[in-house]
Amino acid sequence: MARRLQMARRLRGLLSSPLPLRLHALYFLDAWLDFLPYRSKLNHALIERAYYGYSLLHAAELARKLQDPRISAIEFGVAAGNGLLSLEDHARRVTDETGVAISIFGFDTGTGMPPPRDYRDIPYLWQAGYFVMDDPTKLRAKLKLSKLVFGKVEDTVERFCREENPPPIGFIAFDLDYYSSTLAALSIFDQKTSYFLPRVVCYFDDTVGDIDWGYNRFTGELLAIEEFNSTHEHIKLDQVRGLRFFGHKLPRAWHEQIYVAHLFQHPKYCRPISELTQLPLATD
């Protein structure tokens, strides 16, 4: 039954997608037969929440190059838990690809969004009580790799590293919607650099959209990013430039939602990771 429901969801997605017919066919066949390599699924968006997998894969590959056998991934804003379950599925695949083990943590109040503080929280889109976690007990029973962290983010982030002592954090998904909550979540980078990889892949869910959403750098997650950068000299967040042009990827909106946090004073920040050291002379 679960497989049929998943197939139905994917078919609905196909019918509403502007992809060429050949990619529709490939998508459907892979959904049924599961024959494409994981990296191909990510590049062609043939798997749910490819942005989670793509980000996590690159974090794990960085960890492998730096000889870190284990990393952590965080989702800020769990809601019903579908994203966290998807992150677990990607984590299993990424571990198979890279050999890097992954611990996952999901942050949420469990009671839905708090009241917006002011216009910066974009109250025309978000209000108190949105995205309640329906059944925490049921969600916990489904989770295999993740630990839920309940409470207000400004409280839980401050004590998280001290209490959990997580492996180096390599990927963070920010899906808190509000400016205020996102800024509070970004304070995780105020912890010791040993709790992180030198470059942390970050996905910001509410940064691109249509005109009615009106995302801009003066409100919401984009404002939180700007204010974080303005107050942190040695840690900077920036969008990955030109992501959609590399690796034979099918262009998707999420390519503009991927950022990297650069921890310039991390002891491994300047360690070489490139495998390309010399270009041969072209022959006639």
Work out the pLDDT band at 227, boundaries 50, 70, 90. very high
pTM for this entry: 0.89
Exposure string (b/e) for 31-41, b if CB count within 10 Å is 16 or more? beeeebebeeb
Q: Which residue has the higher pLDDT, 23 or 34?
A: 34
Asked if residue 247 lies in contact with residue 276, where contact means CB atoms within 8 angstroms, the answer is no
Exposure string (b/e) for 126-165, b if CB count within 10 Å is 16 or more? beeeebebeeeeebeeebebbebbeeebeebbeebbeeee
Q: Which residue has the higher pLDDT, 61 or 27?
A: 61
Q: Is residue 95 scored above 70 in pLDDT? A: yes
Q: Determine the Cα–Cα distance for residues 21 and 15; give it in Å rounded to an integer.
A: 10
Asked if residue 196 lies in contact with residue 169, where contact means CB atoms within 8 angstroms, the answer is yes
Q: Which residue has the higher pLDDT, 139 or 34?
A: 139
Q: Is residue 132 scored above 60 in pLDDT? A: yes
Residue 64: count of CB within 10 angstroms of its CB: 16
Q: Determine the Cα–Cα distance for residues 58 and 60; give it in Å rounded to an integer.
A: 5
Q: What is the mean pLDDT of the chain?
A: 90
Q: In this predicted structure, what is the pLDDT of residue 75?
A: 98
Work out the pLDDT band at 280, boundaries 50, 70, 90. confident
What are 194's two structure tokens? 């040993």
Residue from 80, 54, 89 nearest 254 by CA: 54
Distances (CA, A) of 221 to 162, 177, 178, 216, 227: 26, 7, 6, 9, 10
Work out the pLDDT band at 3, boundaries 50, 70, 90. low
β-partners of residue 75 are 106, 173
Q: In this predicted structure, what is the pLDDT of residue 11?
A: 58
Distances (CA, A) of 104 to 11, 101, 119, 165, 280: 29, 10, 32, 13, 42
pLDDT digit string, tens, across residues 31-76: 777 778 888 888 887 888 999 999 999 999 999 999 999 999 999 9
Question: All domains of the chain, ordered by start, with CATH?
Answer: 8-47 (no CATH), 49-263 (3.40.50.150)
Q: Is residue 237 scored above 80 in pLDDT? A: yes
Q: In this predicted structure, what is the pLDDT of residue 123?
A: 97
Q: In this predicted structure, what is the pLDDT of residue 263?
A: 98
pLDDT digit string, tens, across residues 164-219: 999 999 999 999 999 999 999 999 999 999 999 999 999 999 999 999 999 999 99
Asked if residue 256 lies in contact with residue 239, where contact means CB atoms within 8 angstroms, the answer is yes
